[in-house]
A and B are shown apart, each in its own frame.
Chain A
Amino acid sequence: MDILLSSIVAGLLLGMVLAIVALGLTIIFGVMDIVNFAHGEFLMIGMYTGLLTAQATGIDPLLTLPVAAAVGFVLGIICYTGFIRFLLRGPMIAQLLGTFGLMLLLRNLALLIFGSEDRALHHGILVGKSFDIGMGIIIPATKLAAAGLSIAAFGGVWLLMNRTRIGQALTATSLNAQGARYMGIPTQRMNALAWGIGGGTVTIAGALIVNFWSVNPFIGLLFTMIAFAIVALGGFGSVPGAFFAGLVVGIITEIPGFWDFLTYTFNWEWMADVPMTSLKYMWVYLAYFLIMVLRPRGLFGWKQ
């Protein structure tokens, strides 16, 4: 029972953080129908930003979020105006391979600058502390804080998208870009803004994740695929969808925990032999495939 509960709690906490990883992807996809393969690389840059800022200035890692957000925002806008703008004229395959090129570029620049070794945070108020809330559930303080801040960031983006003029302009662009242009909305600038917000949110996620996850230049792809799965489940372009789907995918990544629970509860020996921990992320990919085939619109999606 303990294993089951703690797996669910761990899954939900991770899910909240994963949701904000996927948020940027769903905004970018919603506004301009482009799939960004470099999304995980943005996250990796956010992780390095958080880590290096915290190490250089000695402040707590959680306080580096604004720096990471600023870096991500600027990076997103640079990527859009310097590169993605030109991709949008081409066919779909050029867009796919173009953002893949961006991913390779960012990843290998990071490799060139930071080297290939794993780096992790060792200081900070919350690092290494945890709450024991009984029933065998232990919550690491960093994960709790990360989940809380992720909800706050989600709320901020939701307010921005639904309660401000800029957000309405963004929504209009994603619903019908040509119509929005006729209404006097500068769609080019809206696209750039979407990339800025997308980059900013995902680097925030990176600065949160680096509190409990070590970083290396190759970490991006895993998160890109997780973000794709979340966005597919929640519906491409849907902000609330991304949140709930993030929770679901968080639970999916805890399947090894449920497996252990079943193994111990029913004492089936063959189950213990399955190397479930190594297959942790396979379930996410499989979930993506099944969602796309069975329900391409996702749970909350409106874009087909």
Chain B
Amino acid sequence: METIKNALDFSDFPRFDLIIAGLVFLFLLTFPVFPFSAFAMATIIQFLMFSLYGMGWNTIGGYGGQVDLGKAQYVGIGAYTTAVMLIRWDIPFWVSMPVGVFFAVCWSFIIGYPLFRLKGHYFAIATIATSLVLKDLFEVWGFVGAARGLEISPIKYHPPDFLRLIFKEDAYYYYVLLGFFVLGILYINWFRKSRLGFQLRCIKDNEDVARSLGINVHLAKVKTYAIATAFVSVVGSFHACYIKVIEPEDTMSLNISILIALMAMLGGAGSLWGPIIGAGILIPLKSYLKEWLGATAGLVGIDLVIYAMIIMAISAFEPKGIWGIVQRVRRRKRK
């Protein structure tokens, strides 16, 4: 009971923020009613997916300060578990998703224990290495389709199929994902006020102090890593049902990992709204740049050039992200 009350309690934010958040939520809730193009729909589903990825990353990367650049492997584990179970044994999404989370969390414990002996750069690069190892293995593993990947063919099922999450219209996917999105926000809202959340922020500020206060630093990190993993894996499972074609190159590449970290950092790592703001800016920018400059003007790669420049500008001049700017402006006003 206490937990639910805590998760629903947003009272420590200024009223202005809550009004904005309410308006955005109202917009998201009614979005499919408006006659937007299918492209806009796909973009906003991407936005929701990446804000969920970002929220997961934010627990370990933002609150905990451990830069993890290997989240794509868990997207892969979630997506492959769901796809394999659906294709081979016809097991519905709502069963395979928890199984995927279980696998992902187990794997995160296996590699998390040695990984968290490392710090800083070393940790970041080691997470990349583990992710690439898993990707290479999936590329040769015949059971999961090797490099060709798996394809869920929607013809066999009768959409709308709510058990297996096979739909014809994107609006269904959208509302399922929106449900996950709301749950994710509530969970993170609870998490940041939980015991583990406070322990993590202490670890981020000063690990030695945290240890002297009796916090089991290593265990706290591993636990949070598993939480972040669970978030990513759930969305990975959804990704499998939504995209329907899963290949190692698309689901587990380094770009996905970096994009996840980038969302959270652009918006502001270590804040509740940060990853959502980041995804809300980057995802539409990315897909529309690609549409306009890449596909229409025929300049392959120019969308990513502009994108890269934005990343460079943010990391050089505003490493605290957009939320950092907002807070600075507020502090100045108060004076």
Q: Give Cα A107–Cα B310 distance, bound, in whole angstroms.
A: 15
Residues on A with C-beta less than 8 A from B120 are: 92
Q: Give Cα A215–Cα B15 distance, bound, in whole angstroms.
A: 56
CB-CB nearest 10 A-B residue pairs: A101-B311, A98-B315, A94-B319, A104-B308, A111-B301, A105-B308, A86-B316, A90-B319, A282-B136, A101-B312
The contact of B265 among A86, A93, A278, A279, by CB within 8 Å, is A93
Residues on B with C-beta less than 8 A from A93 are: 61, 67, 261, 265, 269, 319
Whether B300 pairs with A112 at a CB distance below 8 angstroms is yes
Size category of the binding interface on chain A: 35 or more
Q: Give Cα A100–Cα B311 distance, bound, in whole angstroms.
A: 8
Residues on B with C-beta less than 8 A from A175 are: none
Q: Which stretch from B100-108, B110-118, B176-184 is at the chain A interface?
A: B110-118
Residues on A with C-beta less than 8 A from B140 are: 275, 278-279
CB distance from A95 to the nearest CB of B (A): 7
Judge if B128 is at the interface, Cβ distance under 8 Å. Answer: yes
5 contacts between A and B (CB under 8 A): A96-B124, A100-B311, A101-B315, A285-B133, A292-B118
CB distance from A6 to the nearest CB of B (A): 24
Judge if A124 is at the interface, Cβ distance under 8 Å. Answer: no
Judge if A293 is at the interface, Cβ distance under 8 Å. Answer: yes
Residues on A with C-beta less than 8 A from B308 are: 101-105, 108
Whether B319 pairs with A225 at a CB distance below 8 angstroms is no
Q: Give Cα A92–Cα B261 distance, bound, in whole angstroms.
A: 13
Residues on B with C-beta less than 8 A from A92 are: 67, 120-121
Size category of the binding interface on chain B: 35 or more
Q: Give Cα A58–Cα B300 distance, bound, in whole angstroms.
A: 30
Return the CB mask of B126-146 against A: 1 if under 8 Å, else 0: 101110110011011000000
Q: Give Cα A282–Cα B248 distance, bound, in whole angstroms.
A: 14
Residue of B nearest to A290 (CB): B114
Residue of A nearest to B304 (CB): A108
In chain A between 16 and 66, which residues have their CB closer than 8 angstroms to a CB of chain B? Answer: 33, 35
Whether A279 pairs with B136 at a CB distance below 8 angstroms is yes
Whether A289 pairs with B133 at a CB distance below 8 angstroms is yes
Whether A286 pairs with B133 at a CB distance below 8 angstroms is yes
The contact of A112 among B115, B117, B265, B301, by CB within 8 Å, is B301
- Residues on A facing B (Cβ under 8 Å): 33, 35, 83, 86-87, 90-98, 100-105, 107-109, 111-112, 116, 217, 221, 225, 228-229, 232, 275, 278-279, 281-282, 285-286, 288-289, 292-293, 296
Whether A105 pairs with B312 at a CB distance below 8 angstroms is yes
Whether B301 pairs with A109 at a CB distance below 8 angstroms is yes
Residues on B with C-beta less than 8 A from A95 are: 315
Q: Give Cα A221–Cα B125 distance, bound, in whole angstroms.
A: 12
Whether A116 pairs with B300 at a CB distance below 8 angstroms is yes
Residues on A with C-beta less than 8 A from B115 are: 293
Judge if B307 is at the interface, Cβ distance under 8 Å. Answer: yes
Q: Give Cα A6–Cα B124 distance, bound, in whole angstroms.
A: 36
Judge if B299 is at the interface, Cβ distance under 8 Å. Answer: yes
Judge if B317 is at the interface, Cβ distance under 8 Å. Answer: yes
CB distance from B108 to the nearest CB of A (A): 14
Known: A101-B309, A232-B122, A293-B118. 13 other contacts (CB 8 A): A35-B124, A90-B315, A91-B319, A92-B67, A97-B261, A98-B315, A101-B308, A104-B305, A108-B308, A282-B136, A282-B137, A288-B129, A293-B117
> Given the interface contacts A100-B258, A102-B308, does A90 sit within 8 Å of B316 by beta carbon?
yes
Return the CB mask of B48-69 against A: 1 if under 8 Å, else 0: 0000000000000100000101
CB distance from B177 to the nearest CB of A (A): 26
Whether B136 pairs with A285 at a CB distance below 8 angstroms is yes
Judge if B18 is at the interface, Cβ distance under 8 Å. Answer: no
Whether B69 pairs with A288 at a CB distance below 8 angstroms is no
Q: Give Cα A79–Cα B125 distance, bound, in whole angstroms.
A: 22
Residue of A nearest to B307 (CB): A104
Q: Give Cα A287–Cα B241 distance, bound, in whole angstroms.
A: 35
